[in-house]
Structure 1
């Protein structure tokens, strides 16, 4: 516990603010178009084009699955959206007003874009409740956020998120003793505390049991509509259980888009990805 508190004290220095402290309501404007718009985005690393004239749109409230072979550009795409990587060319807009390529990572997060990496990163020495409390959005320094009592609205929000992620019974347990799947749900819950408009979720079911995968599918389906959700995943069984619209990336650009049945029937997709995936799991 002391190590965790020391980390929090360091983070609470006057010159440090959590990147995820965002307004209750994102100012994103989707009245005239999608929530996320990428056009002709290209980025190269040492002469290799990781993203090659990528075009992608995500509608408000949509659940989109992104699939493709290793090296297809899926992680780099999310790095660009969140401000971690700057492309060589192209446009990336959040709604109709916010040019993400002009913003830093904290500024992108402040608009309501949350990202969950494959490996869960929770404070294992803290309880589930404390992790969610710490992640709550607000214009407050980290230490004040951690130490302050929740007001009625904040407690209601925390209870709502606990119910959404299915961890009400675990609220007072230390996060370090949770199962892998429960830690994944907790981290999603920590993002939800920030009231995001767009969630980017990387391989959420890697290492999960079948039961945990089923619960994760239910969770993501519940979230869709309340916010836009983009899921990068290799498990095709899981993708089929949640997919409404699928984008296939290959060599940094869109190879195919449509329903799971449509992309599964595409000979190009089967050649570069799905055929190999089926053989690997045979």
Structure 2
């Protein structure tokens, strides 16, 4: 596989395939809620991965989603991002954007970004080039890399570099970054795409204690400016960032509340925290 093919495949994995369409209208969050999942059901060979799941996330909220393996966390994110179509139910981004009518690239352009557990960055390119590619829009990959940045683009990149604390790594090849730094770079790439909602899957798996602490600070700093949904198994980390926690079990919401409330819920202790 040559370098251009590898880069193209990496681009498609992060940003989707096909032509980038016109960005849908911004989500209407005048009611305070940015994500509406109602009665979402997804079945695989008779197994209900999601079973009439209903979940609401407010604009600017930092929400943690926990639950045992098989609870439906990944399937929920697949529905939100258009990877999986539900058998029943509705999914809205704000008051006006019906997620079930959009493709994966259209959902990304509408303002929903997803960070997988394993970082997906362009390892042969620098931190700066990764951020440039994320902000490319309709420009081609090579035109992006070899075109001069505008003042507005430079300012935005500087702001994102500061947010993810990679200012001193801007000219470093992404492949030599630590695991935690790659995770932060990928979050920075979502910020460069103007993602209003970030879906973050197990962000601290494999991190050092120092990286875990920095990741908590980063996600908390995004609260209010972005809606952030964090799926995580590390309960100490969840406690360090959680405002509101949703517990999934067998494809539906088992409990919801503060970390103390869900930890003291007898049903939660029985099916998850007490394991």
- Per the TM superposition, whether the score is higher than 0.5 is yes
TM-score, normalised to structure 2, is: 0.93
Deviation at 1:148, TM superposition (A): 1.6
The 8 Å contact of residues 20 and 110 in structure 1, kept in 2 or not, is answered as: no
Helix, strand or coil at the partner of 1:215: helix
1:280 maps to which residue?
Answer: none
Q: What's the CA shift string for 1:172-191, capped at 9, x where partnerless? A: 11111111000100111111
Helix, strand or coil at the partner of 2:33: coil
2:86 maps to which residue?
Answer: 87
Q: CA RMSD in A?
A: 2.3
1:136 maps to which residue?
Answer: 135
Q: Which 4+ runs in 1 deviate beyond 4 A? A: 9-12, 16-26
Equivalent residue runs for 1:169-180 within 5 Å: 169-180=168-179
- Output the CA distance in 1 between the equivalents of 2:149 and 2:127: 15
Deviation at 1:149, TM superposition (A): 1.5
2:53 maps to which residue?
Answer: 54
TM-score, normalised to structure 1, is: 0.91
Deviation at 1:110, TM superposition (A): 1.0
1:279 maps to which residue?
Answer: none
The 8 Å contact of residues 203 and 234 in structure 1, kept in 2 or not, is answered as: yes
Segments of structure 1 that go 5 or more residues without pairing to the other structure are 277-282
Deviation at 1:33, TM superposition (A): 4.3
Q: What's the CA shift string for 1:25-70, capped at 9, x where partnerless? A: 9611111341000100101000000000000000000000000000
The 8 Å contact of residues 111 and 196 in structure 2, kept in 1 or not, is answered as: yes
| 1:183 has 2:178 as partner | no
The 8 Å contact of residues 16 and 105 in structure 2, kept in 1 or not, is answered as: no
2:193 maps to which residue?
Answer: 194
Deviation at 1:19, TM superposition (A): 7.4
The 8 Å contact of residues 20 and 194 in structure 1, kept in 2 or not, is answered as: no
Equivalent residue runs for 1:238-257 within 5 Å: 238-257=237-256
